[in-house]
Amino acid sequence: MKEFILVTGGAGYIGSHTVQALSGHGYIPIVYDNLSEGHRQAVDGNILVVGDTADAAALNELFSRYNFSAVIHFAASSLVGESVVEPAKYYSNNLAATITLLSAALKFGVKNFIFSSTCATYGCPVYTPIDEKHPQLPINPYGSSKLMVEMLLRDYNKGYGLNYAILRYFNAAGAHPHFPIGESHRRETHLIPLILKTLLKNSDRKLTIFGEDYDTPDGTCIRDYIHVTDLAEAHISAMQKLLSSSGSFAVNLAVGRGCSVKEAVKAAEDVTGLKVPLVHGSRREGDPPVLVADNLLAKELLGFSPKYTDIREIIQTAWNWELNRRF
C-alpha cells in the first residue's frame, strides 16, 4: 500500500525537490504550503493543500483526511539577515508554528518527524570540519529558532515517543537535472543564483563579494555546497530509517568539501564561458569565515553518498535552470 507523507513547505526550494524524490520512491507526498515563499508550479502533478502551519484547525482537518506515515517539515523562514531585524517572525514561523504542527501530528498518532535544521545552529565554528558534536551556539535568531526546535524534538521524543530525524543542511545549491524545478526565492540572497543572474542576457547586475579579508586562502568565505537532489535523497533515507523504527538522530548533510566565494565565481565562469562582473564589497554581518561539515555520520547512518561532488556540476544544473526557469 502506498504511504502518504505530509511535506510542509513542499512548494519551496528543497521541499519541491524532496517531493519529486518521494514520488520517485513510490510515496504519495501531500504538500502543505502557504505559498508565501513556495510556488504552485513547483509541485505540479502532486497534491497541494494551501495552508499555514500555524493554523491548528486546518492541520486537524488535514491529518483527519490522510493517514500520514511521516511528516517532513520544511516550512520556515530562512533569511539570516532578516531574522536579526525581525526576530519575532522567526520565533513565530519556525518555533511556534512547529509546536502547533507537532500537536496536530501527535493528536493523530503520527510519530515520525523529519526536521529541516541548519548549520546555522552551530554558530561560529570553533573547529572545522564541523561534526554533530560541535557546540551549538547560534549567532542569529534564525539559528536559535531552529536549535530550539531541535531541543523540543528531543523532549517530545522522551515525553511522547516522537521519532525525529534532525537534518542540518549546509549550503543547498543547484537545480533538478530532469524536472523543471530549481531555486526561486522571492528575495534572492544566495551566492550561486546571484552569480548566475549577473550572466543572464541583458542583465546589468554585478556580484558583490562580501569581504576579501577573511582568514582563508583567497580571503573570501568558504562554504560546503550540497546539491539539492542529494539533499532530497537524504530525506528519503532519513525517513526510511525512522519508518524502520531504528531510533531518532541528528545529522549533518553536506559534501564535506569547502568552496570559497572566489572559487564559486571561477567555477561559474568555467561552466558558462562568461565573465562574472564583480564589485568588491565589505563583509556581510554574521557570516562565519568557514562552514565545512564532517559528513561521516550521514554516510554511516544513512548510506549518504552525494552524487554531485564538484561545484561545477552543481552550478551547471543551476545554470540550466536559470536559462529555462518557469517561475
Residues belonging to the active site: 142
> By CB under 6 A, which span of 24-32, 109-117, 175-183, 204-212 interacts with ligand UFG?
204-212
> By CB under 6 A, which span of 6-14, 40-48, 89-97, 184-192 interacts with ligand UFG?
184-192
Binding track, positions 67-86, relative to ligand UFG; x by CB under 6 A: -----------x-x------
Q: Check binding of 191 to ligand UFG (CB under 6 A).
A: yes
d(CA 300, CA 161): 24
Task: Tell me how far, at minimum, the Cβ of 69 lies from ligand UFG, in Å.
Answer: 27
Q: Which residues contact 45 (CB under 8 A, 6 or more apart)?
A: 23
d(CA 267, CA 275): 11
Strand partners, 251: 167
Closer of 163 and 295 to ligand UFG (Cβ) = 295
Closest-by-Cβ residue to ligand UFG is 221
> By CB under 6 A, which span of 30-38, 52-60, 127-135, 186-194 interacts with ligand UFG?
186-194
Applying CB under 6 A, the site for ligand UFG has a residue count of 21
Q: Check binding of 316 to ligand UFG (CB under 6 A).
A: no
Backbone angle region of 216, left / alpha / beta, with phi > 0 → left and psi within -120 to 50 → alpha: beta
Stretch (H or E) spanning 234: helix 228-243
Q: Check binding of 209 to ligand UFG (CB under 6 A).
A: yes
Q: What is the DSSP letter of 172?
A: E
Q: Check binding of 225 to ligand UFG (CB under 6 A).
A: no
Of residues 89-148, those binding ligand UFG (CB under 6 A): 118-120, 142
Q: Check binding of 261 to ligand UFG (CB under 6 A).
A: yes
Q: What is the DSSP letter of 283?
A: P
Query: Shortest CA distance to 278 belongs to which of 266, 291, 294, 270?
Result: 266
Residue 193 phi/psi, 5° resolution? -60, -35
